[in-house]
Chain A
């Protein structure tokens, strides 16, 4: 049986992730990240996500 609360949490996470990604791209289009080089930023973001996931798992 799938836990409805877990589905709801997942929906929330997906929604908030979309909002965050949209916000980053919108701020980019507003010229806020002028001069930032994304080829250095995205690997850092991937590393940060990995660290976050490990931290979450070790807490449980």
Chain B
């Protein structure tokens, strides 16, 4: 940031003394907020709202480069004020902040984004659905009268349907448009009675997947820095769910009529359970009847720094 060697006022010694204040300030601010959040003084803070503050780093860097040499003290004061303001914003208005996808080019898959989309059943006997989302608050549930119904707060949804004439559909739901922020809710409803193979590719976002009433054959979730709640489906046969996560928090709810095993693979993954029907041994949580059940769900979580809570 502040090179101490350039022969500009104030003195190089001054520049050297100031160096190293910018990043420590950011770290102190972020650490402080995380600490307050973990002690329960701050609620509602999400990873998305913190990540959405990344442009503040550019602003701070710019101020530092432009003004720190001439006016070191006022610049420092301004930086402290900006960091405090940004963190205050994240704490008090977490829902206003969202990550924006700036669509700079023509995206071939999403030329005409909509706020409401649906796929009729037609002759579908089952389908594969992939949801490719950025940072939004997603709610995925059953109860659709068609095959798939999706609504968003803004015109940002795109649908690619391949092979819908046959009995097997290949449906892709993609977020396009300009804004995919956490202040935005996207609801996706799936038919309860059509078997679905589900893939969710998520960036930083909040995903609320209630699959209990949905006939899921298998599911694959690639989740980035997101917080995800997953209610397991009522299975027919052996249903496999794979979740690959970055730095994410995953809450898995096992309904009382579902037998399930949740196992962890690698990384800094930690798991805890408060579900009375489950026992935890090592990296695996099993419900009492899992071993003998014919219809069961097997969840494998592979992750970077993922924390898994089983309820």
Question: A residues touching B (Cβ–Cβ < 8 Å)?
Answer: 4, 7-8, 11-12, 14-26, 28-31, 33-39, 42
Q: Which residue of B lies closest to A42 (CB)?
A: B104
- CB of B104 within 8 A of CB of A39, answer yes
B292 close to chain A: CB less than 8 A: no
- CB of A17 within 8 A of CB of B62, answer yes
- On chain A, the residues within 8 Å of B96 by CB distance are 30-31
Cα of A58 to Cα of B64 in the assembled complex, Å: 32
B274 close to chain A: CB less than 8 A: no
- CB of B106 within 8 A of CB of A12, answer no
B302: shortest Cβ distance to chain A, in Å? 30
- CB of A34 within 8 A of CB of B179, answer yes
| Stretch of B50-58, B185-193, B257-265 with 4 or more beta carbons under 8 angstroms from chain A | B50-58
A15: shortest Cβ distance to chain B, in Å? 2
Cα of A28 to Cα of B183 in the assembled complex, Å: 12
- On chain B, the residues within 8 Å of A21 by CB distance are 55, 58, 62
- CB of A22 within 8 A of CB of B8, answer no
A57: shortest Cβ distance to chain B, in Å? 23
Cα of A14 to Cα of B69 in the assembled complex, Å: 14
The 10 lowest CB-CB distance pairs between A and B, nearest first, are A15-B66, A18-B62, A22-B58, A19-B62, A22-B59, A25-B55, A15-B65, A26-B55, A28-B100, A22-B55
Interface secondary structure of B, over-half rule: loop
Cα of A26 to Cα of B90 in the assembled complex, Å: 12
Question: B residues touching A (Cβ–Cβ < 8 Å)?
Answer: 6-8, 52-67, 69, 96-100, 102-106, 154-155, 178-179, 181, 183
Q: Which residue of A lies closest to B181 (CB)?
A: A31
Interface secondary structure of A, over-half rule: helix
- CB of A18 within 8 A of CB of B104, answer no
Identify 28 residue pairs between A and B in the complex whose beta-carbon atoms are under 8 Å apart, listed by A's number.
A4-B6, A8-B8, A12-B66, A14-B65, A15-B61, A15-B64, A15-B67, A17-B62, A18-B58, A18-B59, A19-B63, A22-B59, A23-B59, A25-B54, A25-B100, A26-B53, A26-B59, A28-B55, A28-B102, A28-B179, A29-B98, A29-B99, A31-B179, A31-B183, A35-B155, A36-B178, A38-B178, A39-B103
- CB of A16 within 8 A of CB of B62, answer yes
- On chain B, the residues within 8 Å of A15 by CB distance are 61-67
Partner of B104, one of A26, A33, A38: A38
A24: shortest Cβ distance to chain B, in Å? 8
Q: Which residue of B lies closest to A8 (CB)?
A: B8
Cα of A37 to Cα of B57 in the assembled complex, Å: 24
Q: Which of B8, B60, B66, B96 has the most CB atoms of chain A within a 10 A radius of its CB? A: B66
Cα of A3 to Cα of B12 in the assembled complex, Å: 17
